[in-house]
Amino acid sequence: MEVRDESVSAARERLEHRLIGPVVFWLAIGTAIVHLYFNTISTLSELWSSALHFGLFGLICTLTTPMLKARSAAGQRIVLGVDVMLGLTALACAFYLIIFENDLYQRGFNFDTGDWIVSIVSVTLILELARRTVGWFIPVLCVIALTYVAWWGQYVEGLFNFPGLSWETVLYRSYIGGQGMLGSIARISWTYVFMFILFGAFLVKSGAGDFIIELARCAAGRFVGGPGFVAVFASGLMGSVSGSSVANTVSTGVITIPLMRKAGFPARFAAGVEAAASTGGQLMPPVMGAGAFIMASYTQVSYLTIIGVAALPALLYFISVGMFVRIEAKRSHAVKPEDDAAPSLKEVLKGGWHFLLPLVVLVAMLVYGFTPTYAAGIAILSVVVASWLSKYPMGFRDILDALAMGTRNITTTAILLITVGLIVMVVSTTGIGNTFSLMITDWAGGSLLLTIFLVALASLILGMGLPVTAAYIVLATLSAPAIYNLIAQSQLVELMVNGNLPEQAKTIFMLAAPDRLSLLDAPMDAATAQQLLSLVPDTFSSQLLEQALSPAALSMLLVAAHMVIFWLSQDSNVTPPVCLTAFAAAAIAGTPQMRTGFTAWKLAKGLYIVPLLFAYSPLITGDFTEMIRVFCFALFGIYAIIAGLEGYLEHKLNLLVRLLMFPIGALMLWPHGQLLLDGAGLVAFLIVLVWSSRCGKRFDGGHTGNKAGMSSAA
């Protein structure tokens, strides 16, 4: 945290510098224009675009984030001079690749002196830039990975033994070959991530942030504990366009946290609500941070499909945070502040309906079939046009400010994604991802639940040193195959239990276990199905899946596996000891950082419950009816578990009822597929809810009567 805080303060000083500030401003504008060109009408190769992406953001990063914090004025000038030289070097490395790429091909990929120098300098530079922006963890991890490929991997015994590649090959794949720094992850950075963060910057600059806050107050401010619901609703709306949990916390928290405290919520709870709700911004379509774009690249499933299946789970998460808010509002007797007059919906829409037009344009173009980057480009133009319908139309200066702000907002993410490309290159080159997946499966004994637990533990450990996006990329590369295979096997078991295994899939069993083939013609128990599956050799597993399940079903199972990892990767936002979102909220509320982190962690329990639904239920993989059924019962199941955790519903629960809430909630969440059991759990919960509500009314009546009596006596 101290390293990150120092880099932020140093960056602020640089941006306020009388010379560097304007240079960065115009450089950021130029970078934005170049990237708009890349994503709309450019015919440059992806490798050249990625190289320029690295060079431009390398220059911006060196100018805005000093190499070290100098104490004296002379030291600051020396550091600035070094940073300028390093930034220009990054840009020169990009142009070297563009100019001399064909020469390298003509030499048969044999390095000359210039290739050696540029490759080494480029890799060293990106590691240094990563150190400046996110600390030492990623650079050290990259050094370990690269030296594993070129040097010490050959000395490792067992599964992780790797014979090794020459340094020439490693450097070629790291920089020039378009597989590492300039590979698929960099392409995601300069396409999807840049365009949608720029889109969010234009929306914020046009005044959409204020509109979102007012819309949230109008929609949620009238409920019990309204200010808390305003925080949840506003963070969801803001996160849907910003995709950054910390930025979400800072932008909405300065309004919602004081509002919650004024209503009677405890300060630490108010900060926890804002942190938990803002974390959900990276789960809320259409932006989802960089997750949706990276997921689309990994799974080869369309971006539109991913944000479509992500909507219900995200809604489930935000409602779960809202459940905590309602319970705390009842317990704390939080009320709406008398001087907080929420505007009417008519007034809010009358003053800001035009802010909805860019979102309509974006979604319409995606549905019509345009690429996400082109749709984002048109949506950015529509923000400017829509602002002309308001009282404060965006002028030329506002457009420049939005371009500069969007570029600065993505600088850290761009550097991070370019660097993580090195790790992805090593994993794909060595095949260590498949090895790691096999190890996870072996450790878990083939248990999907235990596998998810191990991935959750790994995400928590990685989250202590990696931001969410990097943690997701690393975990997805290493563990997605294991989770995917186990989810797919559970689908196979279900088909076999019901006696619905397709005929073409039975031919695999004819080769593996011909004496058991007759068992497949009738329903069987799960244990028998598992035993039959264990007889199929690993070499035939993929063929069995392809024969038993349709390509569309397999694609959605892969999305489910990635969604499990993506959700679990978010826990570093709200889980101590490293929970930047909770720390940002604590700074606004003036509460202890660690205690606020634990509060946010409790409120974000949906991050751990909902991924289990991805793995065990058709919340993502089913048809619309199945998805809605799972969603509805999960809603009440989570509410029951939260009531058990809090010991409160509409009124305080006694110990017996409190303990009873956990099995009731589990009954509605458990993937048994029996509507009767789900209904029984729902009826039991509603009985407790009605009983608790009546107890609460009696208590509130007595409490009001006592207050009236005391007032009369006075």
Secondary structure element (H or E) that encloses residue 235, with its range? helix 226-242
With a cut of 70, say whether residue 699 has pLDDT above it: no
Of 300, 71, 70, which is closest to residue 184 (Cα–Cα)? 300
Residue found by looking up tokens 């390509």 in the block = 551
Backbone CA torsion sign across 257, 260, 264, 266: negative
Q: Given pLDDT bands bounded at 50, 70 and 90, which one contains residue 338?
A: low
pLDDT digits (tens, 9 = 90+) for 256-277: 888 888 888 899 999 999 999 9
Q: Given pLDDT bands bounded at 50, 70 and 90, which one contains residue 628?
A: very high
Residue 652 φ then ψ, to 5°: -60, 135
Q: Both tokens of residue 476?
A: 């997805």
With a cut of 60, say whether residue 709 has pLDDT above it: no
pLDDT digits (tens, 9 = 90+) for 630-676: 999 999 999 999 999 999 988 899 999 999 999 999 999 988 778 89
Residue found by looking up tokens 């925080």 in the block = 231
- Output 463 or 595, whichever has higher pLDDT: 595
Burial of 351 (0-12, 13-18, 19+ CB in 10 A): middle
Question: What Å distances lie between residue 397 and 26, 204, 384, 402, 411, CA to CA?
Answer: 12, 15, 12, 9, 21
H/E/C letters for each residue in 369-414? Answer: CCCHHHHHHHHHHHHHHHHCCCCCCCCHHHHHHHHHHHHHHHHHHH
Average pLDDT over residues 400-417: 91
pLDDT of residue 707: 42
Give SS3 for 151.
Answer: coil
pLDDT of residue 347: 77
pLDDT of residue 290: 66
pLDDT of residue 63: 93
pLDDT digits (tens, 9 = 90+) for 290-315: 677 788 888 989 888 998 899 999 99
Q: Which parts of 46-100 are beta strand (E)?
A: none
Secondary structure element (H or E) that encloses residue 666, with its range? helix 655-669
Q: Which residues contact 159 (CB under 8 A, 6 or more apart)?
A: 435, 438, 439
Count Cβ atoms below 10 Å from residue 380 Cβ, excluding itself: 26
378 vs 200: CA distance, rounded Å? 13
Domain extent listing, the chain: 6-185, 186-417, 431-573, 623-696
582 vs 467: CA distance, rounded Å? 14
Torsion of CA 556, 562, 565, 568, to 10 degrees: -60
Q: Both tokens of residue 374?
A: 């082109």
Question: What Å distances lie between residue 367 and 237, 370, 495, 551, CA to CA?
Answer: 21, 8, 33, 22
Count Cβ atoms below 10 Å from residue 13 Cβ, excluding itself: 15
532 vs 495: CA distance, rounded Å? 13
Percent of the chain having pLDDT more than 90? 39
Contact (Cβ atoms closer than 8 angstroms) between residue 311 and residue 318: no
629 vs 454: CA distance, rounded Å? 29
With a cut of 70, say whether residue 222 has pLDDT above it: no
pLDDT of residue 708: 39
Average pLDDT over residues 12-18: 70
58 vs 194: CA distance, rounded Å? 15
555 vs 435: CA distance, rounded Å? 22
Average pLDDT over residues 680-692: 93
Partner residues linked to 652 by β-bridges: 648
Residue found by looking up tokens 């790994």 in the block = 458
Give SS3 for 584.
Answer: helix
pLDDT of residue 375: 87
711 backbone φψ class: left, alpha, beta (φ>0; ψ -120 to 50)? alpha
578 backbone φψ class: left, alpha, beta (φ>0; ψ -120 to 50)? beta
pLDDT of residue 711: 35
pLDDT of residue 233: 82
Contact (Cβ atoms closer than 8 angstroms) between residue 567 and residue 611: yes
With a cut of 80, say whether residue 221 has pLDDT above it: no
With a cut of 50, say whether residue 582 has pLDDT above it: yes
Percent of the chain having pLDDT more than 70? 91
First to last CA, the chain: 53
Q: Given pLDDT bands bounded at 50, 70 and 90, which one contains residue 713?
A: very low
With a cut of 50, say whether residue 696 has pLDDT above it: yes
Query: For the chain, what is the mean pLDDT?
Result: 85
